[in-house]
Chain A
Amino acid sequence: MATVAVIDYGMGNLHSVAKALESVGENVRVVVSGEPAEILKADRVVLPGVGAIRDCVGEIRRLGLDEVILRVAADRPLLGVCVGMQLLMDHSEENDGVDCLGVFPGEVRSFTHMPQPESGEKLKIPHMGWNQVQQTDTHALWHDIPQDARFYFVHSYYVEPAAPALIAGTSVYPVAFTSALARDNVFAVQFHPEKSQHAGLQLYTNFLHWTV
């Protein structure tokens, strides 16, 4: 039976990610683990994340999971979710600047740099709620998900990849930002598929079927 590991580094709620994968995964074993050996045994891996990035990076390094994530990123399907996406970048400006794992070249930036909306209303931060995702390529993870489908977001920082070719999806708040990244066997999303009802469950289904 194929195994998908959800990386547990002690930050936040992994219950919903695991439940969503279980609900769509036929013949798939879902393990929530912070054990390097167990994660490296899995066929595919999800890197979730919530909270402050300095704490996330700190725990990942302390548990020796940084090396594990880099190995997984080199040889099997890996999905980064929310802060899990941001962790894959080079660097984040959150918490006065934090070096991340460098799987994708680029920066994590604050929404406070964004222009204010033309409507005159204040730009609310965090960016919270259901926003549309424009798919900028025909990736296997977008299979059966309509163009401009809505996903649930909650975040105050967003990624700015160094190369436009890495972008798999964009959203607008109040101008376009990158909401999905893809390269080879790695995919990453800023939104929460496990909280995005049908569209989100479809993305997890696609991830479980993804052959690289």
Chain B
Amino acid sequence: MGLAKRIIPCLDVDDGRVVKGVQFVDIRDAGDPVEIARRYDEQGADELTFLDITASHEDRDTMVHVVEEVAGQVFIPLTVGGGIRTVDDIRTMLNAGADKVAINTAAVHNPEFVKQAAEKFGSQCIVVAIDAKRVSADGEVERWEIFTHGGRKPTGIDAIDWARKMVAYGAGEILLTSMDRDGTRIGFDLALTRAISEAVTVPVIASGGVGELQHLVEGVQQGHADAVLAASIFHFGEHSIEEAKRHMAAAGIEMRL
């Protein structure tokens, strides 16, 4: 009896449409974020994360409407990330109904922004998204660094140091993505997940690489993640959230069923 581990489906939204392909058999409009959010809520998702990958600034209003629409119908926590650069961006998303915002690139360019955001809105709604890539060679002591621009641009910042710094600056949660594993479907980078989870006092969400249900179990049991995030295994209808939760519970993990 106690706190459950969380499953968080992630929706990449481009100009108001969910991309990366979502195929539910009985949803006619496969790319509608509101409909997909409702479906995941019904299946027992513990939270939802929306990543706005819209390129142009004008189209960001679309994301605000999506969040408003979802928040009026789905009563579980909502996180919005992608393009959160200013205090006004955060206020806009929270007013639209988001519970948390994920700050990524803006934190790397200006760490003080995280401090300002946490002071203004409270740590409970500030998630810092960390995109990390392994930089150590085989046989060396494992090291990871922060990369920006979808994993293309190195920053030279050590991932563990960065996670600690972001928590000291007021991050209430870390969304940790392995850029080596993202999209590979071979499982989380468990050593990275564990290293970060043990280095910080706030909850850590593991992301990047989930291809089967057992990967979710490993993320919690071996990676010590507090929550696991996945996209494609749910979007393509291979597995429902409910199935994933039952699988994790059967492995001895405390879940909300």
Contact = CB atoms under 8 A, between A and B. Distances in A.
Q: Main secondary structure on chain B at its contact with chain A?
A: loop
Nearest to A22: B72
A127 interface: yes
Interface residues of B, number: 35
B256 A126 contact: no
Interface string A194-205: 111100110000
Interface residues of A, number: 40
Nearest to A15: B97
Contact of A131 (B3, B76, B77, B227): B3
Nearest to A193: B75
B17 interface: no
A19 B256 CA distance: 23
B76 to A, nearest CB: 6
Interface stretch (B118-126, B177-185, B232-240): B118-126
Interface stretch (B52-60, B132-140, B148-156, B198-206): B198-206
A201 B5 CA distance: 22
Interface string B108-132: 0000000000000111110000000
A130 B122 contact: no
B41 interface: yes
B1 A148 contact: yes
A13 interface: yes
Interface string A1-42: 000000000001101100110010000000000000000000
Contact of B256 (A16, A20, A150, A155): A150
Nearest to A11: B122
Given A130-B256, A155-B124, A124 B97 contact: no
Contact of A19 (B41, B94, B97, B125): B97
Nearest to B199: A122
Interface of A: 12-13, 15-16, 19-20, 23, 50-52, 121-132, 148, 150, 152-156, 171-174, 192, 194-197, 200-201
Interface of B: 1-6, 41, 46, 71-73, 75-77, 94-99, 121-125, 172-173, 198, 201-203, 224, 226-227, 256
30 contacts: A13-B97, A13-B98, A13-B99, A13-B125, A15-B71, A15-B97, A16-B71, A16-B99, A19-B72, A23-B72, A50-B121, A50-B125, A51-B122, A122-B201, A126-B124, A126-B173, A128-B203, A128-B226, A129-B3, A129-B4, A129-B5, A129-B226, A131-B3, A148-B1, A150-B4, A155-B124, A156-B124, A195-B77, A196-B75, A196-B76
